[in-house]
Amino acid sequence: MTAGASASSVGVVSPQTMHFEEPLALTSGAQLAQYDVRYETYGTLNAEHSNAVLVAHALNASHHVAGTYAEQPRSTGWWDNMVGPGKPIDTRHFFVIGVNNVGSCFGSTGPMSMNPATGKPYGAAFPVVTVEDWVNVQSRLADSLGIHRFAAVVGGSLGGMQALSWAIRYPQRIAHCVAIATTPKLSAQNIAFNDVARSAIQSDPDFHGGDYYAHSVVPRRGLRVARMIGHITYLSGDDMTERFGRSLRTRDYAFGYGAEFEVESYLRYQGEKFSEYFDANTYLLITRALDYFDPAREHDGDLVRALAPALARFLLISFTTDWRFAPERGREIVAALIANGREVSYSEIDAPHGHDAFLLDDPRYHHLMAAYFERIAAELA
Summarize as ranges the residues that interact with a second copy (CB under 8 A): 27-30, 127-128, 185-189, 191-193, 195-196, 198-200, 202-205, 221, 224-225, 228-229, 232, 235, 237, 240-241, 243-246, 253, 255-257, 259, 261, 263-264, 267-268, 271, 284, 288, 291-292, 294
In angstroms, give the least distance from the CB of 218 to a second copy: 13
Q: Which is nearer to a second copy, 152 or 235 (CB)?
A: 235
Which among 308, 380, 366 is positioned nearest to 337, based on CA atoms?
308
Catalytic residue status for 291: no
- C-beta separation of 118 from 33 below 8 A: no
Q: Which is nearer to a second copy, 35 or 42 (CB)?
A: 35
In angstroms, give the least distance from the CB of 351 to a second copy: 17
Q: Which is nearer to a second copy, 159 or 219 (CB)?
A: 219
Q: Which is nearer to a second copy, 41 or 236 (CB)?
A: 236
In angstroms, give the least distance from the CB of 295 to a second copy: 13
- C-beta separation of 260 from 254 below 8 A: yes
Distance CA 105, CA 21 (A): 20
Q: Which is nearer to a second copy, 76 or 199 (CB)?
A: 199
Which of 64, 93, 355, 366 is an active site residue? 355
Q: Which is nearer to a second copy, 68 or 190 (CB)?
A: 190
In angstroms, give the least distance from the CB of 6 to a second copy: 39
What per-residue string of b and e applies to 63-95 under the rule 16 or more CB within 10 Å gives b? bbbbbbbeeeeeeebbbbbbbbbbbbbbbebbb
In angstroms, give the least distance from the CB of 267 to a second copy: 6
Q: Partners of 128 in the beta sheet?
A: none
Phi and psi dihedrals of 372, rounded to 5?
Answer: -65, -45
Q: Give, to the nearest 10 degrees, the angle between helix 188-202 and helix 220-234.
A: 160
Q: Which is nearer to a second copy, 114 or 217 (CB)?
A: 217
Distance CA 159, CA 241 (A): 28
Catalytic residue status for 157: yes
Distance CA 110, CA 115 (A): 9
In angstroms, give the least distance from the CB of 317 to a second copy: 21
Residue type at 323 in one-letter notation: W
Q: Partners of 322 in the beta sheet?
A: none
Query: Considering Cα of 286, then 291, then 297, then 298, what sign does the dihedral take?
Result: negative
In angstroms, give the least distance from the CB of 26 to a second copy: 8
Q: How far is CA 187 from CA 65, 117, 181, in A?
A: 28, 37, 14
Which of 9, 157, 165, 318 is an active site residue? 157
Which of 322, 356, 362, 366 is an active site residue? 322
Q: Where are the alpha helices (DSSP H) in 131-184?
A: 131-144, 158-169
Catalytic residue status for 322: yes
Q: How far from the centroid of its chain's Cα atoms is residue 300's Cα?
A: 27
Distance CA 188, CA 286 (A): 17
Distance CA 202, CA 347 (A): 39
Active site residues: 157, 322, 355
